[in-house]
Amino acid sequence: MPSPALIIDQVSFSYHDTSVLEDINISVYEGDFIALFGPNGGGKTTLLQLIMGFLQPKKGKISLWGSSPCKSRPYIGYVPQITRFDKQFPITVEEVVQMGCLSRLSFWGTLKAEDKEMTLEALEKVGMADFRHRSFGQLSGGQAQRVLIARALASHPKLLILDEPTASVDPKAEEEILEILTSLQRNLTILMVTHDLQTIIQKVEKLLCVHRNAEMLSPPEVCEHFGLGLYHSPLIKANFCVK
């Protein structure tokens, strides 16, 4: 059986007097590909910030491979959602990905040869190696998101966290990104925030519903539960739908 990568034990969090998360108990295992979903304001972003160590629980404990989130941060790759970026900013695709190696800069502020090799390797994994000298601002939304995935991979993470990576891309680009993530699952643990359950339910074995509390569900359970129309339209066309 795979070893636990992430354990969240009785975690609660509040902003001042406003409770956001209550009594969260989750175990995520190495090699899991888990989709996080729930209503806006339900606590998904807060949960990610707790896992990455940018927030501290008011109660409970979070451990990543037996250590605190802060100590484990070098092993976490984060991919933000692309909403907008300055298309005139003079930076190449390769330079964006090299930002994932900044923690390994030499005393002189230069990257080692192996870091440059890892940059190219990361671009190859997402199918963007031929674009490495192109301006980042010239890319489509889907291409830019793949480059940001490569930037996260350049640090050789053990856990990859993605915040709605397919929210601003067309269906073809969405499918390409999900195929990339599926191929990475062999060597990574993946947590991905999404609102597109219709698509992701075909790709993952586990889904985490976050709405102040958190519940780990299988695709059939999600279909049966959310057939009631909670948070989104019923998933009546999903292959996993429970009759």
- Report the chain's terminal Cα–Cα distance, integer Å: 31
| Contacts of residue 189, Cβ cutoff 8 Å, sequence gap at least 6 | 5, 6, 28, 29, 30, 31, 32, 33, 158, 159, 160
This prediction has a pTM of 0.86
Q: What per-residue confidence (pLDDT) applies to 111? A: 65
Helix and strand totals (H; E) in the chain? 8, 9
Q: What per-residue confidence (pLDDT) applies to 201? A: 87
Cβ contact 203:218 at 8 Å: no
Q: Residue 193 and residue 41: Cα distance in Å, rounded?
A: 13
Cβ contact 173:142 at 8 Å: yes
Length reported for the chain: 243
Among the listed residues 36, 135, 21, the one whose alpha carbon sits nearest the alpha carbon of residue 87: 135
Q: What per-residue confidence (pLDDT) applies to 11? A: 97
Q: What per-residue confidence (pLDDT) applies to 104? A: 61
Q: Residue 117 and residue 127: Cα distance in Å, rounded?
A: 15
What letters, b where the CB count within 10 A reaches 16 and e where it falls short, cover 50-89? bbbbebebeebebbbbeeebeebbebbbbbeebeeeeeee
Question: Mean pLDDT, consecutive 10-residue segments, the chain of 243 residues?
Answer: 91 92 95 91 92 95 95 92 68 90 60 78 94 92 92 92 87 90 90 87 90 90 63 48 44
Q: What per-residue confidence (pLDDT) applies to 109? A: 61
CA-CA-CA-CA dihedral for 17, 20, 23, 24, to nearest 10: -150
Among the listed residues 179, 184, 131, the one whose alpha carbon sits nearest the alpha carbon of residue 156: 184
Q: What per-residue confidence (pLDDT) applies to 225? A: 61
The two tokens of residue 66 are 């037996």
